[in-house]
Structure 1
Amino acid sequence: MPTESAFSIQQALAEGINRIDSDSARLDTELLLCHVLGKPRSYLFTWPERELTAEQRQAFGELLARRIAGEPVAHLTGLRDFWTLTLEVTADTLIPRPDTETLVEAALERLGDGPYRVADLGTGTGAIALALASERPRWQVIATDRVPEAAELARRNRDRVELHNVEVLTGSWCEPLGGLFDMILSNPPYIDEHDPHLAEGDVRFEPRSALVADESGLSDIRQIAEQARNYLKPEGWLLFEHGYDQGEPVRALLAGLGYAQVTTLNDLGGRARVTLARMP
């Protein structure tokens, strides 16, 4: 950190951008600094000459050191933006990512405003369920997670954003569900245990059980697809997020289980990201 007694917002930004080894060094620095100051990002650009107090400077330095060591920004601030929502994040769940908005968009495009029943399996922070509920207030959204701490986090986020058409149940995949659904969707573990990306970036700090699946990453997708046949209405939708190279095997899996209209959608980067199908 600079040796001068005065330390401005502009200096703090330069310090973080120069020291964080990340493609998102500027954004990371801005988010950490906003967290310390308790201000929106616009404040940083409006008042770049404002000086940090000694306590703020120390807090920023500590967070910066942890980010340089690799800890995710979402874990350092305890918050992550997803869709139009700001959600609490803990080390018990995956950090919501922009790629997952492809799954949300696909779901919204396939069901209108009617009073539909929708299930989000392995909800984690509740990001998917809450994004859907925020756009479709007449939907009844049931979110499940087998990890009690994750389910409790999803409930806190539901209360945080005041979306009361979401119910969070503790249990594995479809097991806690009752009745039939118009749509079931999930962002399940889909990374192969030997994938080298597991040793890189934020995923090093996320729960391995929420990332890795057997059968080259397909075992949880298979299990959900098998269970969902007992919970989907005729012509009900089943949607999965998956890895960029898993579109073909996921389509084959769903077709083999008797699903119809099996299709894979790309994310904004042009990579296969979501495969969906309908119950016959």
Structure 2
Amino acid sequence: MTQTLEQAIAAGANLLAPSSESAKLDAQVLLLHILQKPHSYLFTWPESTLSTEQQQQFDTFCQRRLNGEPVAHITGQREFWSLSLEVNATTLIPRPDTETLVEQALEMAVPSNAKVLDLGTGTGAIALALGSEMPTWQITAVDRVADAVALATRNQQRLAINNVQVKQSNWFSALNGEKFHLIVSNPPYIETTDIHLKQGDVRFEPLSALVADDDGLADIKQIITQSRDYLHAKGYLLIEHGFEQSGAVSQFFAQMGFINIKTVKDLGNNDRVTLAQCS
């Protein structure tokens, strides 16, 4: 039997409540994806009835979500910085916390035609957000995973953000000594023993994009060390990290001779981004 939109959301929310902290929102997003309608449609037409095909698809989506699959993987898209991005299981799903990194990057004192590098771009979220805001910046986005490069390229082409170039590179390996005014990165920073890796959406995301050795700091330290060869004098490096890692990240920045080191909190008031200037 098919349901009205109102009934479907209520049933979906009820089904998902034991496994999701945002059960009603999950149900709404899944239903809107099927209907291909804006959020306002749910309030304008709550009594309209789903077709049999729509009902079956909604039931299937809810079951997948109940099994723990991320909403973004079910719908194949995620909004970040008001950009609709294609996502899949080859990369991290962009998180709202990462918008803190974008906000800070936009505040840096760099030339109007700055050369910018996004390391480990994944979906391309950070690079494309920056490119959409600063059309005169020349942005290079790199990832070592070919599937991620293909995904970020599709997002770049679909959004027509033409000042972003995506290429395959293991951190700096394919950059041939280029110099940048600003480098940003959301690298893997979770400890390999972290219990959260067996919970929630991260179970469906690639471990290589999440975890790092040396208490989660291995990739961060490599980026800080190598970036000195790729930054212009007084250039900036901004790194997203775990909420308990700001002290260690700041300390390593100082060890490597960076100056003007600063940590910024995310929307949840957790330490999330540490930035520094090349001396």
Q: What's the TM-score once normalised by structure 1's chain length?
A: 0.97
Per-residue Cα deviation, 1:1-48 (whole angstroms, up to 9, x for no partner): xxxx34110110001111113121111111100111111111111100
Distance 2:94 2:7 in 1: 30
Contact preservation (8 Å) 1:143, 1:169: yes
Alignment partner, residue 166 of structure 1: 164
Moved more, 263-272 or 71-80: 263-272
Cα deviation, residue 112, structure 1: 5.6
Alignment partner, residue 230 of structure 1: 229
Is residue 210 of structure 2 the alignment partner of residue 214 of structure 1? no
Per-residue Cα deviation, 1:208-267 (whole angstroms, up to 9, x for no partner): 000000000000001111110100000000000000000000001111111111111111
Distance 1:240 1:13 in 2: 39
SS of 2:27's equivalent in the other structure is helix
Structure 1 counterpart of 2:55, from 54, 57, 70: 57
Alignment partner, residue 116 of structure 1: 114
Distance 1:173 1:227 in 2: 9
Alignment partner, residue 188 of structure 1: 187
Moved more, 19-28 or 125-134: 19-28
SS of 1:45's equivalent in the other structure is helix
Please list every run of 5 or more consecutive structure 2 residues that lacks an aligned counterpart in the other structure: none
Alignment partner, residue 268 of structure 1: 267
1:226 alignment partner AA: T
1:166 alignment partner AA: V
SS of 1:81's equivalent in the other structure is strand
Alignment partner, residue 148 of structure 2: 150
Moved more, 202-211 or 167-176: 167-176
- Corresponding pairs, count: 276
Distance 1:238 1:37 in 2: 42
Distance 2:235 2:252 in 1: 17
Contact preservation (8 Å) 1:113, 1:136: no
Please list every run of 5 or more consecutive structure 1 residues that lacks an aligned counterpart in the other structure: none
Alignment partner, residue 11 of structure 2: 15
Cα deviation, residue 68, structure 1: 0.6
Contact preservation (8 Å) 2:34, 2:58: yes
Distance 2:110 2:144 in 1: 29
Alignment partner, residue 250 of structure 1: 249
Is residue 54 of structure 2 the alignment partner of residue 36 of structure 1? no
Distance 1:26 1:132 in 2: 31
Contact preservation (8 Å) 1:138, 1:165: yes
Distance 1:201 1:112 in 2: 38
Pairwise CA RMSD = 0.9
Cα deviation, residue 113, structure 1: 6.8
Distance 1:177 1:274 in 2: 24
Distance 1:113 1:175 in 2: 25
SS of 1:28's equivalent in the other structure is helix
Alignment partner, residue 87 of structure 1: 85
Contact preservation (8 Å) 1:235, 1:278: yes
Is residue 73 of structure 2 the alignment partner of residue 75 of structure 1? yes
Distance 2:207 2:266 in 1: 24
1:12 alignment partner AA: A
SS of 1:234's equivalent in the other structure is strand
Distance 2:48 2:179 in 1: 57
Cα deviation, residue 111, structure 1: 3.6
2:8 alignment partner AA: A
Contact preservation (8 Å) 2:110, 2:181: no
SS of 1:134's equivalent in the other structure is helix
